[in-house]
Amino acid sequence: MKIPPKLRRIRALVSKETRQIVRDPSSIAIGAVLPLILILLFGYGLSLDVKNVPIALVIEMPTPEALDFAAGFELSPYFHPWVTRSMPAAQQALLEHRIDGIVRIAADFSRHIAAGDAQVQLIVHGGDANRARIIEGYVQGVAGVWSARRAAEGGAGAVPLVSVESRLWFNEANDSSYFLVPGLVVLVMTLIGGLLTAMVMAREWERGTLESLLVTPVRTEEILLGKTLPYFALALFGFVLCVLSAKFLFHVPLRGSMWVLFGASMLYVLIALGIGLLISSWVRNQLVASQLTMLVTFMPAFMLSGFLFDLRSMPALVRALTYVLPARYYVALLQSVFLAGDVWSVIVPNTLALTAMAAALFLASRAVMRKSLE
Amino acid sequence: MSALLGSLLRIAALTRKELLAVLKDRRSRLSLLIPPVVQALVFGYAATYDLNHVTYAVLDQDHSAASRQLLAGLDGSGVFERVADLTRASDIQALIDSRRALLVLQISPLFERQLQSGHGATVQLIADGRNSNTAGTAMAYVSGIVDAFALRWGADHHFDPPPLRIVTRAWYNPNLETRWFMIPGMIGTLTLIQTMMLTAMSVAREREQGTFDQLLVTPFRPFEIMVGKALPSMVVGTIQAGGVLLVAQLWFRIPFAGSYATLGAGLLLFLLAAIGIGLLISSVAATMQQAMLYSMLLIMPFSLLSGLTTPLSSMPRAVQYLTAVNPLRYAIDITRRVYLEGAGLGLLMSDLVPLALISALTLTAAAWMFSHRMQ
């Protein structure tokens, strides 16, 4: 059987590139070892769950009511209280970051409880505002439980007029790794994909080997394909490792279907590789290419993709910027496919956006390369 | 004396050559100076856990004066945008699934009657937990508004006020704005990436292009070559850090509570540690690709496990121990404490000492590697 020359040329390029990968272990390290290390380190390391908060419980007068109220903190899994009578000592501890907050039960607590107008002072370290708000919520919770219990026992407590019964869909246990781990997969794939190709093309330009490739009958898009395919396989291998660890190590549920997950991810890997190709054929310098890849892939995917920070709360200008970021669509896809299942109203528009981006990147890389050849 | 002078002159010459190599090319000049400032601006707006736009839908089965008053509280907060008024509970699923609404508030037909009975009413709140942190914050906002409503409604209908109130005060950041926490933390983060990579790649580039051997036949001593490689990165890092600091103060107007000298001392020590790590990488790496791979292997964990976005105290103990070698962790703590709390050198010892140790260790190791690989 006769193979068309176009395919033969691509096959030759692919086999040349594959040989190069096998001989230089650093590409394999980027494609397979790096994702595994990163997902393990971050999967275990990153968490927004707040537990065992070290707080000072300042009980100025140990009356039965004050001790009863304080017991709520000692029993709570969210707090790790340190009981003291001295407010200055507690403030010093807060200054030195040994505790995250102070709950102060004043000397006249019992009298005010009897009169029905008691106040408990909470001082939180406002530095980490997110954590401070969570701690405040926990303290409110302890106080609410105490009031309701006193009311039930016929004391001077009260049931709240309105209580909110909350349900967190897709993540009933409120485990932050459920949304962090799929987001991390996005971060890792973005970085891996971009880096794999960015260095390769820039290196060929620097060494002048690309020019020698050009005097052969190979065409621009064939070079692009020949460069992309082997790294595509390598990056996909890294992706499989990430998904396996998400499912079996971090126990993130995979509620959507496998083929949606893989389809979307293949598309995204293509885009990540394409960004690397485009950057490196544009700057043709390994130093600048690697810095630029790092800048336009890792940090934006970290900050602007909706992985951590809510997109709807960003100012319009910054939000507009996120629309050109492929990671934004991939984060939406992965969070839905992992946690919510096959939600077509999410999958279809995001996949379409990714497809358009992949096509645009390929065309742009071809144009940039053609132009730099002339 | 003349030996010292000669050494200094040689270092100055090498530094000049290195700075020229980095800054001569317009693209590489721009790639070093523009990104930190642009990133600080964009990420400064993006990196916040505070919500100012929450989409929600309501299933009001009560249609009473009380339920209308509660919803008016939500709509008037400036944060919540009502995207739908539902009539059936079966519509909730589609609305949440498609991410059109982050929250759905369900008010039962008995709401007002339960309120009047004094035994307490309940409202149901369903949140999209795909980002459970955002959902949690939004739910806390709703709870705050519901509490405010209950207080006012109770007062209007002659109920006793709740017997116990929590009065919260937040030190150093009275309005609990995440931005105040994030942006000072970025001074170190945005500087680290390029300072470390620049140092790591500069030696690797000379190796790959063969100019490193040429450098070795000159009268430079290994120590001088090392200083000559470190100083330009130090200059670049200082300028970058200054740029981000200016953005924090002049653009985002976050009040600076501490002393510039303290912050400067802390940041210089941090840059030294970052450069030390970069030099160590460059003494190990044979090619630029390897240098980049090693830098990347360190930069990603350094920046993610630094306490910038997720607190160190939420990490498992083993990971917390690992972060002891992360210079960025200390830099972020220093900038935040100097910036927001006005901490002095005395309170910062727990950060400064490890940074000094990291710098001393990495620089010594790099110097040793250089002199041994050169012979």
Whether A308 and chain B come into contact, CB under 8 Å, resolves to yes
Whether B210 and chain A come into contact, CB under 8 Å, resolves to no
What is the distance between the alpha carbons of residues A340 and A250, in angstroms, rounded to a whole number? 17
Instruction: Specify the DSSP class assigned to residue A307.
Output: S
Of A196, A299, A283, A23, the closest CA to residue B289 belongs to A196
- Give the mean pLDDT of B66-84: 93
Specify whether the CB–CB gap between B355 and B273 falls below 8 A. yes
A-chain residues near B199 (CB < 8 A): none
| B132/A171 Cβ within 8 A | yes
Whether A139 and chain B come into contact, CB under 8 Å, resolves to yes
B-chain residues near A117 (CB < 8 A): 161, 163
Task: Report phi then psi at A99, rounded to 5.
Answer: -130, 165
Specify whether the CB–CB gap between B183 and B104 falls below 8 A. no
Of B340, B326, B310, B308, the closest CA to residue B44 belongs to B308
Of residues A161 and B55, more confidence is placed in B55
B-chain residues near A294 (CB < 8 A): 193, 197, 296, 299
Q: Which of A174, A310, A321 sits opposite B51 (nearest CB)?
A: A310
Q: Per-residue pLDDT tens, chain A, 374 aa: give them.
A: 567 888 888 888 888 888 888 887 777 777 788 888 888 888 888 888 888 899 999 999 899 989 999 998 998 889 999 999 999 999 999 888 889 999 999 999 989 888 888 889 999 988 888 888 889 989 988 988 888 888 877 765 566 777 788 888 888 888 888 988 999 999 889 888 888 788 777 778 777 887 777 778 888 888 888 888 888 998 899 899 999 999 999 999 999 999 999 999 999 999 999 998 888 888 877 777 877 887 788 888 988 998 889 898 889 999 999 999 999 999 999 999 999 889 999 999 999 999 999 999 988 988 887 776 66
ipTM for the whole complex: 0.85
User: Looking at residue B374, what is its pLDDT?
Assistant: 58
| B165/A119 Cβ within 8 A | yes
User: Looking at residue A202, what is its pLDDT?
Assistant: 79
Range 255-284 of B in CB contact (< 8 A) with A: none
pLDDT at B375 over 60: no
Whether A367 and chain B come into contact, CB under 8 Å, resolves to no
Lowest mean pLDDT among B60-74, B157-171, B187-201, B224-238: B157-171
Instruction: Specify the DSSP class assigned to residue B120.
Output: -
B219: confidence class by pLDDT, cuts 50, 70, 90:
confident
Q: Are strands A162-169 and B121-128 parallel, antiparallel or unpaired?
A: parallel
User: Looking at residue B24, what is its pLDDT?
Assistant: 79
| B163/A116 Cβ within 8 A | yes
Whether B364 and chain A come into contact, CB under 8 Å, resolves to no
Measure A226 CA to nearest chain B CA, in Å: 20
User: Looking at residue A223, what is its pLDDT?
Assistant: 82
* Average pLDDT score, chain B: 88
**Does A53-152 carry CATH code 3.40.1710.10?**
yes
Q: Which of B167, B198, B316 sits opposite A119 (nearest CB)?
A: B167
CA dihedral B181, B187, B188, B192 (to 10 degrees): 140
From the candidates B54, B126, B147, B168, which should be mutated to test the interface with A, based on the most A CB atoms within 10 A? B168
- CA separation, residue B52 to residues B95, B175, B292 (Å): 20, 14, 39
User: Looking at residue A242, what is its pLDDT?
Assistant: 92
Whether A131 and chain B come into contact, CB under 8 Å, resolves to yes
Domain B54-156 adopts which CATH fold?
abc type-2 transporter like fold (3.40.1710)
Spacing of C-alpha B32 from chain mean position? 20
Spacing of C-alpha B276 from chain mean position? 22
Residue with tokens 């029993």: A75
User: Looking at residue B157, what is its pLDDT?
Assistant: 87
Of A116, A140, A160, A145, the closest CA to residue B120 belongs to A160
Q: Which of A34, A128, A166 sits opposite B311 (nearest CB)?
A: A128
Domain boundaries, given as residue ranges, for chain B: 2-47+177-374, 54-156
Q: What number of residues does chain A have?
A: 374
Measure A214 CA to nearest chain B CA, in Å: 23
Whether A190 and chain B come into contact, CB under 8 Å, resolves to no
Q: Which residues contact B64 (CB under 8 A, 6 or more apart)?
A: B111, B112
Beta bridge partners of B104: B57, B126
Crossing angle for the helix pair B178-209 and B327-336, to the nearest 10 degrees: 140
pTM of the model: 0.87
Beta bridge partners of B81: B55
Beta bridge partners of B105: B58, B125
Of residues B2 and A5, more confidence is placed in A5
Q: Which of A46, A163, A322 sits opposite B310 (nearest CB)?
A: A46
| A336/B305 Cβ within 8 A | no
What is the distance between the alpha carbons of residues B150 and B147, in angstroms, rounded to a whole number? 5
| A161/B153 Cβ within 8 A | yes
- Give the mean pLDDT of B29-43: 86
Instruction: Specify the DSSP class assigned to residue B100.
Output: S
Return the amino acid letter for B90. Answer: S
pLDDT digit string (tens) for B127-186?
Answer: 999 998 899 899 989 998 998 998 899 889 888 777 778 888 888 888 888 888 899 999
Lowest mean pLDDT among A134-143, A220-229, B318-327, B346-355: A220-229
B-chain residues near A336 (CB < 8 A): 99, 130
In three-state secondary structure terms, B56 is strand
B203: confidence class by pLDDT, cuts 50, 70, 90:
confident
User: Looking at residue A1, what is its pLDDT?
Assistant: 58
